[in-house]
Structure 1
Amino acid sequence: MLRSLIWQLSQQSDQIPASLDDLFSSCESGQRQPSVDALQKGLRLIIQELLQAYVVLDALDECAQRAELMETLETIAGWRLQNLHLLVTSRREQDIESTLEEFIDNQSRICLQSALVDKDIQLYVQHRLATDKILQKWRKDDVRQEIKTILRDRANGMQAFYSGLI
């Protein structure tokens, strides 16, 4: 995630940000991997060079290394950069919620009701099954119904968190 954010945000500059060049040099010109601390420092410097930085991190619950991700998000929140706007989404998972609650206030949290989200997902799945050429191979009604049911039941809503302070 850190590498991806550094790359994406550095693309906003006309030239290679000095902080990215320094990070590359500190890793023996790419011969070794930077530490998480070095990546965080590089990201912070790149963000500080931008007028505004908008970051969207979707599906935190799908991350295999959640503890590390939550630590990184907590570090980023601690920077209190006024030009950084972060939107993160996740299904309701206790470890994610408890960590984010530490640095995102209640007013900045949005819970998407599962019934509303599930209906949207159901409509989307029906549309795709009806119009997507690749999905047309499942023509039997029982298979199509099973696809709809499984996707609807597993959707179970999601939780979105946002903070302008982060």
Structure 2
Amino acid sequence: MATAYFYFDFNDTQKQDPELMLRSLLCQLVQRSVVIPKGVDALFSSCENGQRKASSHALLQVTKEAAQEFTHVYVVLDALDECAQRSELMDMLETVAEWQLDNLHLLVTSRKERDIETCLESYVGEEDTVCLQRDVVDQDIQRYVQQRLRDKKSLAKWTKDAAIS
């Protein structure tokens, strides 16, 4: 079993690029492999031992091969909406969905953005989607904080704060 994750961050250009996401995920899978997958070795050689960058297509193919080495692979992609090149990212996710690997489990998060929704709805069923509506989440957080303030005596001084109550 392997777990790999990547979160997109609008404040960090290194965390906005879908190709860097793919490289990161592949690297995490290779690090968890018992042996380096043959496809990784072949890709490295074809790129003149790392002197040239591999294409996104080649990286996707090798990532698929690396994922197939595990009984289960769990991939978490956080904040898709903060990716600078969403179209490229959506194309990559569509390719991954087309693999139809039974051992590959994806969890993706994003703010509610129409372009992302449109792309994902073609291969993610409604039963596999959780929409966290802001007002519902805010109410849950408020109830939790109020309960903690009531239950924990050391926090009692904060109950007078209007922003909390």
CA-to-partner distance for each residue in 1:109-154, whole Å, 9 max, x for gaps? 1111211333567789xxxxxxxxxxxxxxxx9xxx7xx9xxxxxx
State which of 82, 85, 107 in structure 2 corresponds to 1:65.
85
Give the aligned partner of residue 38 of structure 2.
18
* 3-state DSSP of counterpart to 2:68: helix
| Equivalent-residue separation in structure 2 for 1:24 and 1:114 (angstroms) | 45
Aligned-partner SS, 1:74 = helix
Query: Which residue in 2 is equivalent to 1:44?
Result: 64
Compute the TM-score of the two structures, normalised by the length of structure 1.
0.71
Structure 2 residue runs of 5 or longer lacking an equivalent are 1-20, 146-160
Amino acid at match of 1:102: S
What is the CA distance between 1:14 and its match in structure 2?
2.0
Residue 126 (structure 2) aligned to one of 106, 110, 129: 106
Alpha-carbon distance between aligned partners in 1 of 2:90 and 2:73, rounded to the nearest angstrom: 20
CA distance in 2, matches of 1:65, 1:96: 12
| Percentage of matched positions with identical amino acids | 57
Cα RMSD for the two superposed structures = 2.1
CA drift at 1:48: 0.9
Q: With structure 2 as the length reference, what TM-score do the two structures score?
A: 0.71
Opposite residue 45 of structure 2, the aligned amino acid is S
Q: Specify the alignment match of 1:4 in structure 2.
A: 24
Q: Distance in 1 between matches of 2:62 and 2:141?
A: 38
Q: What's the offset of the Cα at 1:20?
A: 1.1
2:136 to 116, 130, 148: 116
Q: 2:102 aligns with which of 82, 102, 118?
A: 82
Letter in 1 for 2:76: V
Structure 1 outlier segments of 4+, above 2 Å: 116-124
Q: Secondary structure at the match of 2:42?
A: helix
The number of aligned residues is 128
Deviates more, 1:97-106 or 1:17-26: 17-26
Question: CA 1:8–1:121 in structure 2 vs 1: closer, same or farther (change >3 Å)?
Answer: farther
Q: Structure 2 CA distance, aligned partners of 1:91 and 1:107?
A: 18
Question: Is 2:76 the partner of 1:56?
Answer: yes
Whole-Å Cα distance in 1 between the matches of residues 83 and 137 of structure 2? 21
1:9 partner letter: L
Aligned position for 2:49: 29
1:134 counterpart residue number: none
1:91 is matched with which residue? 111
2:32 aligned counterpart, secondary structure: coil
